Amino acid sequence: MAILVTGGAGYIGSHTVVELLNTGKEVVIIDDFSNSKQEVLNAIREITKKDFKFYEINYLNREALEKVFEENKIEAVMNFAGFKAVGESIKKPIEYYTNNVSGALVLLDTMRKYGVKTFVFSSSATVYGDPEKIPITEECKTGETTNPYGTSKLFIEQILKDLYVSDNSWNICILRYFNPVGAHESGLIGEEPQGIPNNLMPYVVRVAAGTLKELSVFGNDYNTPDGTGVRDYIHVVDLAKGHIKALEKLEREQKGLYIYNLGTGNGYSVLDMVKAFEKTTGKSVAYKITERRQGDIATCYADPTKAKQELGWEAKLGIEEMCRDSWNYIERHK
């Protein structure tokens, strides 16, 4: 029996595949390389010394997807396929809703057809909008997302809830990620944003590497200790391990719908991140303070208690490992 991983060549997908293979799982990956590279597959093999089956398809292609279910004994699906650039989603809402929401629907419908009802979904803390309280618990209200990317996550969460109401033999885990950073310690896989990065850490590493001139710090007049935005950065390997724990939970329970925050519970400001990066790597990061970025909130960090209690998972890697591994990856891939 295998775990089907959609988007398994992507940033979080590839790190999760490594953890799945390390725990002895059989893995089938589908990916269309729309935001990832073929080399990642060999890097996964190199890290784990294990193999997996791979199909180069888009999950909207129902026929091709059915073939994957025909040819393999799939026990569970982890869905990492999805567009994730916030700014781009505002410019291309139809593409984002089609890929993320319609893609998830085709996937779920195909799973139903083949009697596979165990599903782990990559959601995001973005579903909390401007959070009603900090730290954010899973009970906080969701909604009022500020872009189609975030709204697509919200819609899929709702679809999963409705699906579970219609048939409670489904076994679903929704994971709300906070801010994933870092890379596998081997430096063989990591984050590879296309074009100029939007997220903080990929930008910081490129300034340190000299490929970008300086970081714009988006606002220093927020109601936070140093005025810059505070987030819950989580090492991608910790995040990947959270998926293994989620899968184990679903294997124990056999049915249900579960929602967990995957964060560290620590909030770091933009300037904290810059300083930590400089201290860990010895590289300097030029920055200037600019206007706030539209749609940004002051503070966002998780209360990760529920995941600790119910999954036996907690983030282990700190800000130094996050900076070290992000830098290590870039040094190897400059």
Return the active site residues.
149
Task: Tell me if 128 sits within 8 A of 81, measured CB to CB.
Answer: no
With H, G, I as helix, E, B as strand and everything else as coil, classify residue 179: strand
Among 122, 126, 266, 281, binds ligand UD1 (CB under 6 A): 126
Task: Report long-range pairs for 37-41 (Cβ below 8 Å, ≥24 apart).
Answer: 37/9, 37/192, 38/9, 40/9, 40/10, 40/14, 40/189, 41/9
Q: Could you please report the per-residue DSSP string of 253-267?
A: HSSEEEEEEES-S--
Residue 176-195 contact track with ligand UD1, rule CB under 6 A, x = bound: ---xx---------------
For residue 199, the tally of other CB atoms under 10 A from its CB is 16
Residue nearest ligand UD1 by beta-carbon distance: 229
Among 53, 255, 283, 293, binds ligand UD1 (CB under 6 A): 293
Under the binding rule (CB under 6 A), the answer on residue 150 touching ligand UD1 is: yes
Q: How far is the CB of 266 from ligand UD1 (least distance, A)?
A: 14
Stretch of 43-51, 62-70, 97-105, 289-297 contacting ligand UD1, by CB under 6 A: 289-297
Q: Which is nearer to ligand UD1, 86 or 247 (CB)?
A: 86
**For residue 307, what are the CA distances in angstroms to 169, 259, 310?**
22, 9, 5
Helix ranges (H only) for 140-259 are 148-166, 200-209, 236-253
Q: Which is nearer to ligand UD1, 118 or 281 (CB)?
A: 281
- Residue 39 contacts by C-beta under 8 Å, 6 or more apart in sequence? none
Q: Which is nearer to ligand UD1, 57 or 90 (CB)?
A: 90
Q: Which is nearer to ligand UD1, 226 or 321 (CB)?
A: 226
Q: Which is nearer to ligand UD1, 236 or 250 (CB)?
A: 236
Residue 213-232 contact track with ligand UD1, rule CB under 6 A, x = bound: --xxxx----------x-x-
CA 272 from chain center: how many Å? 22
* Closest listed residue to residue 182, CA positions, set 8, 329, 37, 295: 329
CA 150 from chain center: how many Å? 12
Number of residues that bind ligand UD1 (CB under 6 A): 21
Under the binding rule (CB under 6 A), the answer on residue 296 touching ligand UD1 is: yes
Stretch of 26-34, 57-65, 135-143, 211-219 contacting ligand UD1, by CB under 6 A: 211-219
Q: Distance (Å, rounded) from C-alpha 162 to C-alpha 241?
A: 27
Among 40, 86, 259, 315, binds ligand UD1 (CB under 6 A): 86
Q: Distance (Å, rounded) from C-alpha 295 to C-alpha 301?
A: 17
Q: How far is the CB of 168 from ligand UD1 (least distance, A)?
A: 29
| Residues engaged in binding ligand UD1 (CB under 6 A) | 86, 124, 126, 149-150, 179-180, 198-200, 203, 215-218, 229, 231, 270, 293, 295-296
